[in-house]
Homo-oligomer: A and B are copies of this chain.
Amino acid sequence: MLNNSQYIEKLRSSGLRPTKQRLKICEVLFNTDKTFHFTINELVKRISKVSNHKISLATVYNTVHSFKKKGYLKEIPINSDQSYFDTNTSHHHHFYDEGQKNLIDIDDADVEPVKINTKIPGKKIKSVEVLVKVEDDKS
């Protein structure tokens, strides 16, 4: 929930020029109380809902990727045909309902820390992500 000049500062401080397009995308992504998940397509729709000037699809892709690289977004690995992103960059996990293609946060406190008792020589762990697939409970 920052204002425009704060986004300008945020972008500049991470080495990204604060362009109109990036600021608009910041607004759409971060000017809200709750974090949320989105696909590129959904983001494009949200943008066009808030603004008359449409942002080129390529720019949306570019921006999402640079925001991800800067750590403003996380990508969630879901077995699917499209990429899912999360504005919640804190450590947490997900439920995924394949039927409804619906993604829900699992508060980190609700998952016991995942302990991995093995390692790969020369590699270090970068992230541990738990995906809990759910389905209708017909019992």
Evaluate contact between A106 and B111: CB separation under 8 angstroms: no
CB distance from A13 to the nearest CB of B (A): 25
Which residues between 93 and 123 of chain A lie within 8 Å of chain B, taking CB atoms?
95, 97-98, 104, 106-107, 109-112, 114-118, 120, 122-123
Question: Are A133 and B124 CB-contacts (below 8 A) given A79-B75, A115-B111, A116-B110?
Answer: no
Q: How far does the alpha carbon of A123 sit from the alpha carbon of B136 in the complex, in Å?
A: 5
CB distance from A89 to the nearest CB of B (A): 15
Determine the chain B residues whose CB is within 8 A of the CB of A76 once the complex forms. Answer: 79
Contacts of A135 in B (CB 8 A): 123-124, 126
- Taken together, the copies of this chain in the complex come to 2
**With the chains together, A29 CA to B131 CA distance in Å?**
26
4 other A-B residue contacts (CB within 8 Å) besides A110-B116, A124-B136:
A97-B120, A111-B116, A124-B139, A129-B133
Offer 24 A-B interface pairs, CB within 8 angstroms, sorted by A.
A76-B79, A77-B77, A77-B78, A98-B126, A104-B120, A109-B117, A110-B118, A111-B117, A112-B115, A114-B114, A116-B132, A120-B134, A122-B137, A123-B134, A123-B135, A123-B136, A124-B134, A124-B139, A125-B134, A126-B134, A126-B135, A127-B132, A128-B133, A129-B133
Q: Interface of A with B (CB < 8 Å)?
A: 75-80, 83, 95, 97-98, 104, 106-107, 109-112, 114-118, 120, 122-137, 139
